[in-house]
């Protein structure tokens, strides 16, 4: 009996130790699973994926036409050789997470994160009917690509090597601006609605490069991604303080107007073939756009006083110029004796001619009077 009791006690002790070990192992496995979940969550936070919350934050609510009192659509061409537009082109290759605008566009299109639309030359329609297939676009511009892992017909994805991206051939962009005057805020706002990269390619035998507009991309689709890329805008300050989104939102670019929306759908070159007339028309449109908001409000007293002072200063400057010109005339050297004699002779001859004409006129008048007296 004692031996049986000892055996039972020993078996119970072994069972208790086994249960404790099982509990420890289960708790440790749970801790490990919890740690793995935390690591996955941290990795998801550090990844550059855009969440729906971020998209809703950067998405702009479209303004209704009922709230607008005035609106104009402007097409601009951004030349990347212009120093103000250089942040869109550099760096040419990806360096330490820095990418130029065209590489960002191609990466997002290859991953099927944004949609592109056809370039219709002034009749832009951003609907599913005019959506561009990325594969067809890559084949059209001879950009080498391959199907990415997990690519399907409904969700096509592609891999493009960095050396195959023609970033050095995209030397300009077309942007679509909307100048809107909102009656709710009584402010004039400028919005970039869409952007189009333009390829500059020359033929096999050289010559002048031909421009090929590739596709349109809506700026609202790009904003969540552009807001994550900081860029350098000044050589004197090597700190990247602005993003691509700030660059377009704050109108930090420089571009010429090449078209305005009109009934005939004609460009500025078609309406004004002469270069001088084209430049004057572009300047006139730009001045009207910039001065539109100023003409809406009555000037304040301070503005009127400043304008009056500026006018008085301008008049005073004009009077000083007139006085200086008179002094110059007084200080001018006297002419030579020959020229003065010639002038005197000319004046004498003119006076003689005048006297003779006067005498003739007087004689004719006397004759008429005498005839009348005879009658």
Neighbours of 220 (CB within 10 A): 17
Q: How far apart are CA 27 and CA 33, in angstroms?
A: 10
Q: What DSSP string describes 264-297?
A: T---HHHH--SHHHHHHHHHHHHHHHHHTTGGGS
Number of domain units in the chain: 2
The pLDDT tens digits for 280-293 are 999 999 999 888 87
Which of residues 217, 250, 271 is at a domain's end? 271
**Sequence-ordered list of residues with C-beta below 8 angstroms from that of 144, at least 6 positions apart, any chain:** 160, 161, 164
Coil/strand/helix, residue 352: helix
* Structural domain boundaries enclosing 111: 53-271
The pLDDT tens digits for 77-97 are 999 999 999 999 999 998 888
Coil/strand/helix, residue 175: strand
Question: Is 175 within a domain?
Answer: yes
pTM of the model: 0.67
Q: b/e string for 56-84 if b means 16 or more Cβ within 10 A?
A: eebeeeebeeeeeeeeebbbbbbebeeee
| Domain co-membership, 237 together with 200 | yes
| Domain co-membership, 197 together with 300 | no
**Closest by CA position to 173, among listed 200, 141, 138:** 200
| Domain co-membership, 109 together with 229 | yes
| Domain co-membership, 265 together with 305 | no
The pLDDT tens digits for 194-251 are 999 999 998 777 678 999 999 999 999 999 999 999 998 888 888 888 999 999 999 9
Question: Is 367 within a domain?
Answer: no
Neighbours of 281 (CB within 10 A): 16
Residue 34, φ and ψ in degrees, nearest 5 = -65, -40
Q: How far apart are CA 252 and CA 233, in angstroms?
A: 9
């Amino acid at each position: 009996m004692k031996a049986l009791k000892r055996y039972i006690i020993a078996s119970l002790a072994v069972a208790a130790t086994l249960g404790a070990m099982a509990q420890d192992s289960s708790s440790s496995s749970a801790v490990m699973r919890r740690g793995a979940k935390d690591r996955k969550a941290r990795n998801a936070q550090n990844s550059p994926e855009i969440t729906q919350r971020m998209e809703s934050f950067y998405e702009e609510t479209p303004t209704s036409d009922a709230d607008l009192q005035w609106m104009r659509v402007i097409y601009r061409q951004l030349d990347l050789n212009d120093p103000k537009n250089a942040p869109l082109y550099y760096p040419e290759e990806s360096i330490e997470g820095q990418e130029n605008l065209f590489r960002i566009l191609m990466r997002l299109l290859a991953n099927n994160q944004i949609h592109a639309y056809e370039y219709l030359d002034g009749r832009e329609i951003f609907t599913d009917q005019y959506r561009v297939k990325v594969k067809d676009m890559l084949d059209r511009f001879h950009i080498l690509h391959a199907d990415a892992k997990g690519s399907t017909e409904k969700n096509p994805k592609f891999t493009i090597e960095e050396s195959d991206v023609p970033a050095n051939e995209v030397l300009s962009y077309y942007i679509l601006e909307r100048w809107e005057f909102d009656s709710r805020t009584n402010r004039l706002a400028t919005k970039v609605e869409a952007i189009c990269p333009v390829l500059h390619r020359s033929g096999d035998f050289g010559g002048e490069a031909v421009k090929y507009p590739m596709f349109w991309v809506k700026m609202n689709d790009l904003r969540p991604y552009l807001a994550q890329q900081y860029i350098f805008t000044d050589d004197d300050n090597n700190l990247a303080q602005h993003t691509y989104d700030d660059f377009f939102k704050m109108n930090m670019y420089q571009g010429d107007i090449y078209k305005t929306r009109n009934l005939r759908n004609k460009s500025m070159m078609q309406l004004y073939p002469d270069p001088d007339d084209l430049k004057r028309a572009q300047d006139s449109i730009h001045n009207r756009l910039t001065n539109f908001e100023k003409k809406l409000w009555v000037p304040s007293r301070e503005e009127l006083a400043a304008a009056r002072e500026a006018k008085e200063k301008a008049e005073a400057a004009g009077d000083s110029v007139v006085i200086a010109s008179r002094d110059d005339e007084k200080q001018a050297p006297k002419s030579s004796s020959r020229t003065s004699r010639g002038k005197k002779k000319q004046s004498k001859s003119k006076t003689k001619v005048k006297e003779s004409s006067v005498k003739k006129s007087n004689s004719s008048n006397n004759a008429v009077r005498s005839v009348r007296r005879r009658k």
